[in-house]
Structure 1
Amino acid sequence: MNLKSFVKVGNISNLSDARYCAGFGVDMIGFNLDPQNDNPVALETAQEIMGWVAGVDLVMEYGNLPLAQIRETHQNIGTGYLQVNSVEVAQALATDTKVILKIHIDDANDLTAFTSEADGLSEDIAYLLIDCQDESLYLDIDQAISELELTIPTLKAFDVTADNVLAKPAFYHGIALSGSHEEKPGFKDYDELADILEVLEIED
Structure 2
Amino acid sequence: MLKIKVKAGSITNLTDARYFAAREVEWLGFPLGTGEGLIEPIKAKAMAEWVDGVKIVGEFGFSTPEEIRSVQEYVNLDAVQVGMFASREDLAKLKGLNIIKEIVVDKGFSKTELEDHFGAYADRCSSFLLNMSAGGYSWKDLQNGNPFPPAFLKSICKKHRIILNLDCPAGETIKMISETEPYALAFSGSGEEKTGFKSFDKMDELLDCLEIED
Q: TM-score range by the shorter chain?
A: 0.7 to 0.9
- Native 8 Å contact 1:30 1:59 kept in 2: yes
Counterpart position of 1:155: 163
Distance 1:34 1:111, change over 3 A: farther
Aligned length: 202
The letter of the residue matching 1:58 is: I
- Equivalent in the alignment of 2:68: 70
Structure 1: which amino acid aligns with 2:75?
I
Q: Is the 8 A contact 2:153 2:180 kept in 1?
A: no
Q: 1:192 aligns with which of 181, 186, 202?
A: 202
- Structure 1 runs not aligned, ≥5 long: none
Residue pair 2:65, 2:94 contacting (<8 A) in 1 also = no
Q: Please say if residues 131 and 165 of structure 2, whose CA atoms lie closer than 8 Å, have aligned partners that are also in contact.
A: yes
Q: Work out the CA distance in 1 between the residues paired with 2:47 and 2:111.
A: 35
- Aligned AA (1:6): K
Are the equivalent residues in 2 in contact too, given 1:94–1:122 (CA < 8 A)?
no
1:95 aligns to 2:95 (yes or no): yes
Alpha-carbon shift at residue 35 of structure 1 (Å): 4.2
Structure 2: gaps (5+ residues): none
Q: Is 1:12 matched up with 2:11?
A: yes
1:159 maps to amino acid: D
Partner of 1:171: 181
Secondary structure of the corresponding residue to residue 60 of structure 1: strand
Give the deviation of 1:73 after TM superposition.
Answer: 2.0
- Aligned residue for 1:135, secondary structure, equals coil
Is the Cα–Cα contact under 8 Å of residues 65 and 91 in structure 2 kept in the other structure?
no
Question: Does the 8 Å CA contact 2:44/2:75 hold for their aligned counterparts?
Answer: no
Shift of 1:112: 4.3
Code of the aligned partner of 1:192: K
Q: In the alignment, residue 29 of structure 2 is paired with which amino acid? A: G
Aligned with 1:61 (options 59, 62, 78): 59
CA offset digits 1:117-173 (Å, max 9, x no partner): 222223351111111232386341644433345533101101233122111134311
Query: 1:131 maps to which residue?
Result: 131
When structure 1 is superposed on structure 2, of 10-19 and 107-116 the one drifting more is 107-116
Pick which of 190-199 and 45-54 moved more.
Answer: 190-199
Say if 2:126 and 2:161, in contact at 8 Å, map to a contact too.
Answer: yes
Identity %: 27
TM-score calculated relative to the size of structure 1:
0.86
- C-alpha contact (below 8 Å) 2:157/2:180 kept by paired residues: no
Residue 68 of structure 1, CA deviation: 2.7
Query: In the aligned structure 1, how far is the partner of 2:207 from the partner of 2:186?
Result: 11
Deviations 1:41-84, CA, capped at 9 Å, x for gaps? 22221111101000011101012323232222223222110101
